[in-house]
Every structure is written in structure tokens, then in C-alpha cells.
Amino acid sequence: MELFLYSLLPLLAGLFFGAVAYYLYVRGRSHSRAQQIESEARLLLEEARSQQKELLLQARDEAQRFRAEVEVELREARLALQKQEERLTRKEENLDRKLEQAERRERQLHQRERQVEQLHREAQELVEKQRQELERISGLTREQAREIVLLQVERESRDEAARSIRQIEAATKEEADKIARKILSTAIQRCASDYVAEVTVTTVPLPNEELKGRIIGREGRNIRAFEQATGVDIIVDDTPEAVTLSCHDPVRREVARVALTKLLKDGRIHPTRIEEVVEKTRQEIEQIMREEGERVAYEAGVTGLHTDLIKILGRLKYRTSYGQNVLQHSLECALLAATMAAELGANVSIARQAALLHDIGKAVDHDVQGPHALIGADIARRLGRPPAVVHAIAAHHSEEEPQTVEAFLVQAADAISGGRPGARRETLDLYIKRLEALETVATSFPGVQRAFAIQAGREVRVMVQPDAVDDLGSIHLARDVAKKIEESLQYPGQIKVTVIRETRAVDYAR
């Protein structure tokens, strides 16, 4: 054990001396490093001090420059403030002067108001004195004089208004006539009508008188069978070689006429043959009506009509109104209404359809009660026509108030087609009644002496009493008579009202 300790002593001594040597080495290096760091810190401190001096100098320069700029701005602000104060001072002086002037003018105005009030009182006193003097001189009171002046002013105003009305009416009539003539002439020119008034045939000619007996048959069985099959009465009278067919329905009358003609040509007249021929003829007439409806719709340029509507339209081939064929009348109205609608910029399709269908109510008016315009409108509505077309049909005789341009155009086309010369026949009784109604309307106004309807009722000449109606009053009378004719009478075309005032002076030489 001691030997082992003695062997470790050199090792421990070596370690001790080694540690001492390492410590001395490290301490020497640390001392040199500290000296180096101290020298570097000393250099940095000197550089920082030099930079601090430079920064202080720069800051001092910046502060001096900023102070100079602020002083310049302050001087400019003081100058601007001084100028503003000078302007305000001048404005205050101006306001003071204007206030003094306003006060001076106000005093002058008050003085003038007192002067005006004084003059007004003096003028009222003068007017009152003059009024009293005028009342004394004229012998009239103030109310009487006012009434005279008002009457004079009213008369002058009425005369002036009548002159203005006459000038306006003349200018308007001239311009309206020019435009209307252009539109109507264009429409009529484009609508070339190649037919005249037709008359429904109700008389069937016979080759000889013996056929009347064959038509009647044994104990009247043939005529009864014919009337039962056709719904038409056969009148066999003393008319030589002719029999008359009587029925309100034009289609049934046409079926009876054609069937009777066929039976007369065939010669075999008995109940069975009558039923066969009537049924065959009825089918032929229905086919003809359908073809005529299609033809007229094609010529009028109307497409998309219901088949029942075309058939009803074709029935108008055998319907007449005052001798005018209603189907051709409808076609002519469609062409006229379409042309006028194109000229006026209205709906051409609506005007064309409504004018073509406006009289379809006449095809069934023997079976349905009511005005044919409303009947036709109801048919058009049920068969799918647009509301504008239905309204124009219902309003073409004013059963409804026209609300659209197309409705007025249908009315105009109907009047043009039915009112043109030669289109329709009028019975003598209706003609005389229309003339008497025109004269009655004209003579119903005060101051009218006599009235005459001339030119087949196209003009009314009214003779007035010259002492009851003056020249300007005649203008008012003509307009009132025309307005009353429009409201109370129905007529095709237009009626001219002429008021004649005549003053005669008579004297004798003795």
C-alpha cells in the first residue's frame, strides 16, 4: 500500500505542475486580450466623441435653418392677416355707407308713401265727385251704368269669340278636309268595287201555268211537303207563270228557290223527291257558303278564322241590306278600313278583321234577338277573336261607345260603303221620314223661320228671322243644329247645315 502511494506521488506532482503552468498560460493570454479590448474601446470612444461633435454641429445648423423658415412663414402670415384686416375694415366702412343710404331711402319712401296716400285720397274724392256729376248728368245710377257697360263688354266679347271661332273652324275644316279627302280618296281608289246593289230573288218563274198545279199536288201534299222540308212558304196566286217564296231567313229562301228550280227542270214533283232534292240543295248551299266565306276572307287578307266563323260569314252572301249584298259590303269595308288604318298608322290587322266581321250578326239575326252589332260581337268573342276586334264590331253602330281608332275606322268604312251613291236602296217612306226629321230638328231652335232638306237629305238650309238672329248668331245656330242632328238622328255620310239670314228693305216711290 505504501509502495502504491509512493508510485503515485510523481504522477500527482506532474499533474500539479501542469495545472499551474496552464493557469499561468491562460492568465497571460487573458491579460493581453484585455489590453487589446481596452485599446479598441478607447478608439471607439474617441470615434463616438468625434461623431457626437459632428451631430451636435448638424443639429445646431438644422435648428437655425428651421428657425429661419418659421420666421419667414410668420412674417407672411402676419402680412396676410394684416391684409385681411384691411379688407374687413374697408367692407365695414362700405356697409356703414350702404346702411346710411338704405336708411335715407327708407325715409324717402315713407315720405313718398304719405304723398301717394294723400294723392290717392284726393283721386278718390275726385272720382266720387265725377261719379256724382255723371249720375246727375246722365240720370243713371252706378248699378245701371255698370249693367250697361257689362252688356256692352259681353256683346263685344261674344262677337269677338264668334269671329275667332269662325276663323278657327275655317282653318281647322280646311286642314281636316284636306287630310280626310286624301285618306278617303286613297282608300276608295285602292278599293275597286265591281258590283252594284243586289236584290234577293223571291219569285220563281214557271215555264207554264200547268206547273202550279203540280207544285200544289193532289190535295196540296206537294206544297205541304215542300214547305215542311224548307221552312219557306210558297204563295201561289194569280201572278202569271210565277210563284213567290216567303221567308225571313235568306238562306232557307235560297235553298227553296234552288230546290224548286231543280224540281221544275226534273219534272218529278212528289214528297219523297222533294225531300231528296231539298236535302241535296241544302248541302250544296252550305258548301257554297263555306267557299264564299273562304274566298272573301282570302280577298280581304284575313287568316286564321274559325271554320264556324267562315261559315257564318258565307251566309251573308244571301243577305241584303237596302238592296246591298252584305257579304260584298263586308269585303269592301275590310279593304277601306285597312287602307285608312295604314294611312293613319293604326293597327291594320285589327281594322281589317273587325270591318270584315262587323255585320256577321245579320247572318243569324232572324234567329237571335238583339241588335246585329252586339250579336256579331258575341259570336266573334265565342269564336276566339281578339278583344279589340270584338269591341270594334260592337261599336260600329254605337251600341257601345267607340274607344279605339280601329273602332272609328270601322264606323267610317261602313258609312263610306253604305252611303256611296247607288250602294243602297231606300224605300220612299223611309226617305220622306228622314227628310221630315231633319226639317223638324232645324225648326226646333228659336229664331228659325223655315227649314228645307235638299240634296236627298245631304244638306239642310235654315231660314232665320233677321231681327232675331244676327250674323254672328247664325254661326252658333249652324253649329247647334249640326250637333243636335248628330245626337238625335242616324244617317250615312255627312249632312251640311246652311243658315241663311236675309234682310230686305222695301220702299215705294209715289
Q: What is the pLDDT of residues 174-206, one digit of tens each?
A: 776 667 666 655 555 555 444 433 344 467 888
Q: Are 406 and 386 in contact (CB under 8 A)?
A: no
Q: How far is residue 197's CA from residue 322's CA, in Å, rounded to a whole number?
A: 8
Residues 409, 396: contact at Cβ < 8 Å? no
Q: Inter-axis angle of helices 326-344 and 348-357, to 10 degrees? A: 160
Handedness of CA 372, 373, 379, 382 (dihedral sign): negative
Q: What CATH superfamily is the domain 428-501? A: K homology (KH) domain (3.30.300.20)
Q: Which residues are registered as beta bridge partners of 464?
A: 448, 501
Per residue of the chain (510 residues), give pLDDT as tens: 555 555 666 666 667 777 766 777 666 666 677 777 878 888 888 888 888 888 888 888 888 888 888 888 898 998 999 999 899 988 888 888 888 888 888 888 888 888 888 888 888 888 888 777 777 776 666 677 677 777 777 777 776 777 777 777 777 777 766 676 666 555 555 554 444 333 444 678 887 777 778 788 888 888 888 888 888 888 887 777 788 888 777 788 888 888 888 888 877 888 888 888 888 888 888 888 888 888 888 888 888 888 888 888 888 887 777 667 888 888 888 888 888 888 888 888 998 899 888 888 888 867 777 788 888 889 889 988 899 999 989 888 877 888 888 888 888 888 877 765 555 555 556 667 888 888 898 899 988 988 998 877 778 999 998 888 888 788 888 888 988 888 888 776 678 899 988 877 777 777
Which grid cell is 146? 255698370
DSSP 241: T
The amino acid sitting at 272 is T
pLDDT tens-place string over residues 109-135: 888 888 888 888 888 888 888 777 777
Domain 203-419 indexed as CATH 1.10.3210: yes
- Rounded to the nearest angstrom, the gap between the alpha carbon of residue 203 and the centroid of all alpha carbons in its chain is 51
Beta-carbon contacts of 395 under 8 Å, excluding residues fewer than 6 positions away, are: 373, 401, 402, 403, 407, 410, 411
> In what helix (H) or strand (E) does residue 97 lie, and over which residues does it extend?
helix 2-138
Helix, strand, coil % in the chain, rounded to nearest 5 = 70, 5, 20
Torsion angle in degrees (nearest 10) through CA of 240, 246, 249, 253: -30
